[in-house]
Amino acid sequence: MLHPVGPLPASVYWRRRVLAIAAALGVLLLAWVALPGGEGDGGSGGRQETSALVGSPSPTGAEPTSLAATPPAGDPGRAGDAGSGASGAGTATPATTTPSAPPPPPQPCTDSALSLRAVPERPAYRVGDTPVVDLVVRNVSAAACARDLGARQQEVVLYAGTRRLWSSNDCYPGGSRDVQVLQPGDSASFSVTWSGLSSRPRCAGERVRVTAGTYQLVARLDTLASARAPLVLR
């Protein structure tokens, strides 16, 4: 083994052996440097960085820590930091509003809160016509109010001086309730048609045709009565 055998000079074979041995030693050295236990700077730095990220046991046995466990104080994702981004903000709670109480119902209309008129639809009628009289009620107060304006509360009466000639309720009493709310300045109108005949309460006695003349109409809404208005028959 120590004495080369071959057609070439012995020095050639010795140089080849030296080169082969040197190459083998180089491979072994590189392999040793690359192993985890080696002393190379690159391997040591890589292990230290990995250990810092993952965490290593402390000499006292404390729990391992990691960079992700405690964010820096200026981290925009820290929960509770003023001015933090959306990732650190809690779920927004919509503002709640207390519903306002409904307005109280309007008070009943007193007689002084209303005006009432009896208005013939024409200034004069002929004997034998069927005059139409409007009963007009209006809220003259500064507040809305409610009043029963039903037919049961309405009445139109015809007078000749102080003598009562006819009432819209003599032969057609009764009727339904109709409570309405009148705003300030609002008015409501109801029409009554007169047959031109006289009448008595409960439609008693004979009914006769009223002759030509100037008569007075009075409208009534329960306890409220209007001023007299003229009705002319020709």
Phi, psi of 171 (to 5 degrees): -105, -10
Non-local (6+) Cβ contacts of 176 within 8 A are 150, 151, 152
CA dist., res. 233 & res. 125, Å (int): 5
> Does residue 195 lie in a domain region?
yes
Tell me 209's DSSP state: B
Instruction: Give residue 127's domain range.
Output: 107-233
> Does residue 78 lie in a domain region?
no
Tokens 């003229």, residue located: 230
> Does residue 164 lie in a domain region?
yes
What is the per-residue pLDDT for 5?
Answer: 57
**How many angstroms separate the Cα of 166 from the Cα of each of 109, 124, 176, 190?**
28, 17, 22, 18
What is the per-residue pLDDT for 51?
Answer: 37
> Does residue 52 lie in a domain region?
no
CB 162 within 8 A of CB 126: no
Among candidates 151, 135, 140, 153, which has minimal Cα distance to 219?
Answer: 135
- This prediction has a pTM of 0.56
What is the per-residue pLDDT for 136?
Answer: 98
Q: How many domains is the chain partitioned into structurally?
A: 1
> Does residue 130 lie in a domain region?
yes
What is the separation of C-alpha 61 from the centre of its chain, rounded to a whole number of angstroms? 61
**How many angstroms separate the Cα of 119 from the Cα of each of 29, 41, 52, 149, 210?**
127, 116, 103, 17, 19
> Does residue 178 lie in a domain region?
yes
CB 199 within 8 A of CB 209: no
> Does residue 82 lie in a domain region?
no
Structure tokens at 55: 């965490």
Mean pLDDT of all residues in 13-42: 67
Among candidates 105, 111, 119, which has minimal Cα distance to 141?
Answer: 111
Q: List pLDDT tens digits, range 179-230.
A: 999 999 999 999 999 999 999 999 999 999 999 999 999 999 999 999 999 9
> Does residue 22 lie in a domain region?
no
Domain of 143, CATH number, reads: 2.60.40.2360
Q: Is the pLDDT of residue 67 over 50?
A: no
Among candidates 230, 204, 208, which has minimal Cα distance to 128?
Answer: 208
What is the per-residue pLDDT for 63?
Answer: 47
Q: List pLDDT tens digits, range 81-127.
A: 444 444 445 566 667 777 788 878 899 999 999 999 999 999 899 99
What is the per-residue pLDDT for 29?
Answer: 72
Query: Could you tell me which residue, 226 or 77, shows the higher pLDDT?
Result: 226
CB 226 within 8 A of CB 219: yes
